[in-house]
């Protein structure tokens, strides 16, 4: 059929990747052994690409809460939040999120993608402008596409470029949505939020920060980069996900503006999607409590981050610009990236292979994500596996990015 012809380039790319051995995209983990280990092609490997930052996927309290919820409330809600899908647990989690962030309003979504896409596409519309960091996540881009607003990208982590573009809008700045992330998921770098907030204070606009990869990782109590940077009063809405530090699935939005509660009746990705299962909500509530009570998890995570990042930098690998739980090794070519990914797997280490166009600036990445659950021995094994890699003919390892 003619409609299918557009997918033929994808088939060629998949065949090229498969020629190297195990297909690195959509790897099947045959059995999960723990928060940090799994079985891939019959081999037990260290999982170093899961975004399980606090290691809570196997926490006994989270598992017990999920099991109890399944037994008491069933396997699913079978409806949207606006129909029959709002249970007591959903409201309780919203209250707990609002209290955690110190704001009056919170809304829970079925996934982080739906939260971010829905908030962006609903806040801005025809006649408005969205200014977004060029490296924002696909969910944000999808929200801009659905919004009907004018969309302008500013250079990644460049407050001066944001200011220039916002100033050009003149009075239109008051009808502008500014969207950035806390930690960017590909290279692990943080937004310069203090400078971005200063631009917003001077020129206007509504600032949305996606804390998907910074919740539980940054801030005195784990609220993310907004808390870490001391700019929470300047941020109008925070969106995030449960699928990283909280070890489940789902998304949320919190705001100091009471109008967030009214947005429930307008966000299509909230209105027309089945609500999260009771077991997911139950485990997420426990994980949020653990995040608040066990600061030692963040401390352990950051020890692991510095162990791996500093070791790779000292060995001359090209890395993202700053340490974070996302430790991305930049590779010169797709062929080298494929060879190294398979070599790492053969050594018992699973990482994410990320290829263009999903990566910034068309680079190829071997993307690691550290967890508080990784033992020092496991981090040492990950580092040793990288140090054992050798460049193919014509490739150089390169030097770390300052």
Architecture of domain 74-293: 3-Layer(aba) Sandwich (3.40)
Contact 253, 260 (CB under 8 A): yes
31-32, strands of its sheet edge to edge = 31-32, 37-40, 43-47, 349-350
- Please write the tens of the pLDDT for every residue from 190-221: 999 999 999 999 999 999 999 999 999 999 99
pLDDT in tens, 110-144: 999 999 999 999 999 999 999 999 999 999 999 99
Question: Which stretch of DSSP H or E encloses residue 251?
Answer: strand 251-255
Residue with tokens 């994500």: 369
What phi and psi values does residue 227 have, to the nearest 5 degrees?
A: -70, -45
Question: For the chain, what are the domain ranges?
Answer: 2-57+294-387, 74-293
183, 213 contact by CB (below 8 A): yes
Give the pairing type, strands 129-133 and 176-181: parallel
SS3 helix, strand, coil % of the chain, rounded to 5? Answer: 45, 20, 40
Q: Which residues lie across from 39 on neighbouring strands?
A: 31, 44
Nearest alpha carbon to residue 81 among 212, 277, 279: 277
**Which one of 2.40.110.10, 3.90.1150.10, 3.40.50.300, 3.30.300.30 gives the CATH number of domain 2-57+294-387?**
3.90.1150.10
Helix (H) or strand (E) holding 166: helix 159-168
State both tokens at 379. 């981090």
Please give the Cα distance from 177 to 27 (Å, whole number). 37
Contact 274, 77 (CB under 8 A): yes
Tens of each residue's pLDDT in the chain, 402 residues: 789 988 888 888 788 777 777 777 888 999 999 999 999 989 999 999 999 999 999 999 999 999 999 999 999 999 999 999 999 999 999 999 999 999 999 999 999 999 999 999 999 999 999 999 999 999 999 999 999 999 999 999 999 999 999 999 999 999 999 999 999 999 999 999 999 999 999 999 999 999 999 999 999 999 999 999 999 999 999 999 999 999 999 999 999 999 999 999 999 999 999 999 999 999 999 999 999 999 999 999 999 999 999 999 999 999 999 999 999 999 989 899 999 999 999 999 999 999 888 788 778 999 999 999 999 999 999 999 999 997 765 555 543 332
Cα dihedral 104/107/112/115 (nearest 10):
-100
Q: Is 178 exposed, middle or buried (0-12, 13-18, 19+ CB in 10 A)?
A: buried
Say which DSSP state 49 is in.
B
- Whole-model pTM: value is 0.94
């Amino acid at each position: 059929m003619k409609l299918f012809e557009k997918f033929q380039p994808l088939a060629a790319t998949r065949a090229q990747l498969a020629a190297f051995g195990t297909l690195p995209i959509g790897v099947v983990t045959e059995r999960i052994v723990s928060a940090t280990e799994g079985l891939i092609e019959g081999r037990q490997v260290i999982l170093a690409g899961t975004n399980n930052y606090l290691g809570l996927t196997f926490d006994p309290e989270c598992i017990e809460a999920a099991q109890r919820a399944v037994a008491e409330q069933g396997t699913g809600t079978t409806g949207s939040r606006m129909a029959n899908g709002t249970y007591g647990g959903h409201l309780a989690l919203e209250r707990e999120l609002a209290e955690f962030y110190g704001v009056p309003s919170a809304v829970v979504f079925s996934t982080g993608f739906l939260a971010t896409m829905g908030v962006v596409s609903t806040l801005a519309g025809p006649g408005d402008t969205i200014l977004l960091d060029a490296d924002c996540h696909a969910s944000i881009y999808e929200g801009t596409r659905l919004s009907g607003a004018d969309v302008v990208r500013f250079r990644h982590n460049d407050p001066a470029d944001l200011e220039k573009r916002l100033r050009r809008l003149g009075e239109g700045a008051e009808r502008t949505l500014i969207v950035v992330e806390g930690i960017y998921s590909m290279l692990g770098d943080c937004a310069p939020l203090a400078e971005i907030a200063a631009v917003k204070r001077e020129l206007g606009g509504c600032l949305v920060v996606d804390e998907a990869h910074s919740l539980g990782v940054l801030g005195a109590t784990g609220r993310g980069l907004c808390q870490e940077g001391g700019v929470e009063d300047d941020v109008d809405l925070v969106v995030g996900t449960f699928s990283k530090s909280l070890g489940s699935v789902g998304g949320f939005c919190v705001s100091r503006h009471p109008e967030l509660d009214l947005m429930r009746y307008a966000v299509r990705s909230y209105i027309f999607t089945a609500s999260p299962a009771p077991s997911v909500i139950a485990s997420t509530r426990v994980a949020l409590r653990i995040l608040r009570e066990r600061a030692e998890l963040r401390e352990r995570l950051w020890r692991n981050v510095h162990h791996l990042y500093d070791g790779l930098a000292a060995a001359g690998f090209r890395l993202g610009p700053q340490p974070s739980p996302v430790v991305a090794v930049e590779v010169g070519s797709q062929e080298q990236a494929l060879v190294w990914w398979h070599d790492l797997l053969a050594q018992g280490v699973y990482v994410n292979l990320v290829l263009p166009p999903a990566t910034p600036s068309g680079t190829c990445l071997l993307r690691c994500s550290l967890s508080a659950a990784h033992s020092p021995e496991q981090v040492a094994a990950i580092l040793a596996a990288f140090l054992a890699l050798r460049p193919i003919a014509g490739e150089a390892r390169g030097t770390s990015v300052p």
